[in-house]
Amino acid sequence: MMPHTPPPNPLLDVRDLSVGLTNRHVAFLAADRIALQVKTGQSLGLLGESGCGKSITLRALLGLVPHPGEIVGGHIEWKGRDWRSFSHREIMKIRGKEIAMIFQDPASCLNPVFTIGDQTTETLRLKLGLRSKAAQTFAADLLDQVGIPAPAERLRLYPHELSGGMRQRVMIAMAIATEPDLLLADEPTTALDVTIQDQILNLLARLKERTAMSMILVSHDVGVVAQNCDVIAVMYAGRIMESGPARDILQAPRHPYTRGLLAAIPQLRVGAGRPPLKTIAGLPPNPAQLPQGCPFQPRCPSARPECRTIPVTLDRNLPGHGSACPFVN
């Protein structure tokens, strides 16, 4: 009988991560007891409406929660080591090389007083040890890969001289330059037109296939997540409402919020038989004033009195597929 080989540790293991923020002197949890695992070569999609805590969760994974916010609980393990055990020097080596991030707003991430070339080559010199001439050549090649025309000329421009879509492509080029083990992509294609969006996603897919890169993709676009992710976690009001294999989530959603998101996808039918666009009633709650129990219950078509007191925890009665709703299956 062959000995049992335990499964390898996940590349990233997040348990009970909670992030606190303060808004007008009111403290609240922007992310509450988040649990995620990402294996080597796997893509995980964080799906949900704007303001549900997706972006702050990504920032927390790199220790970049903006002041006065802070991580108030939980554990983050990177390659089997507790993130808190890393020295500052080790963390600086990991950021941008082993773990890279594409931020949602490139205008706030690119320094307006330095050229695109200065900022791109700095990453290549610091993280890859390239000399100036080699860094310039590599930087131009990266811009070409992400679909920026005349890349050598663009390196001489300042961020304000590029369109929003081109600035986003520069950020993507800088993130993939080191071929990171894990790419954190926060709405990476929001500012891009459909053609360039497809080009960028294909580029990330090729990089993932060639280097076994893992990725966490944040989006409110179900289609983007469905086409690019192996696993999906659905967030609402700072909590994970459902998680599991992408096929299971998309074909057999178990949480009413997930079902509402999928039902709201426009149907591409033409003519009088086209169904009306479905929406989720109401608005997301103020994160500083969440209702008791399940935060989705004020908008939920299946809500019952018990929803006001139940804890929001994932019930995994199906292999790997968890839902925080105990009443809908």
pLDDT at 41: 94
Q: 321: which 2 tokens?
A: 């597929």
For 26, 114, 284, 297, 306, the CA distances from 302, given in Å and listed in that order, are 31, 54, 17, 8, 11
pLDDT at 3: 44
Instruction: Provide the whole-model pTM.
Output: 0.90
The continuous run of DSSP H or E covering 123 comes out as helix 116-128
Is residue 326 packed enough to be buried (19+ CB in 10 Å), middle (13-18) or exposed (0-12)?
A: middle
For 11, 123, 140, the CA distances from 136, given in Å and listed in that order, are 32, 11, 6
pLDDT at 329: 73
Q: Which pairing describes strands 231-236 and 239-245: parallel, antiparallel, or unpaired?
A: antiparallel
**pLDDT tens, the chain, 329 aa long:** 344 444 467 999 999 999 999 887 888 999 999 999 999 999 999 999 888 999 999 999 999 998 889 999 999 999 999 998 999 999 999 998 999 999 888 878 899 999 999 999 998 998 889 999 999 999 999 999 888 999 999 999 999 999 888 898 899 999 999 999 999 999 988 767 888 888 888 888 888 888 899 999 999 889 889 999 999 999 999 999 999 999 999 999 999 999 999 998 877 665 556 667 788 988 999 988 899 999 999 999 999 999 999 888 888 777 789 999 988 87
pLDDT at 272: 58
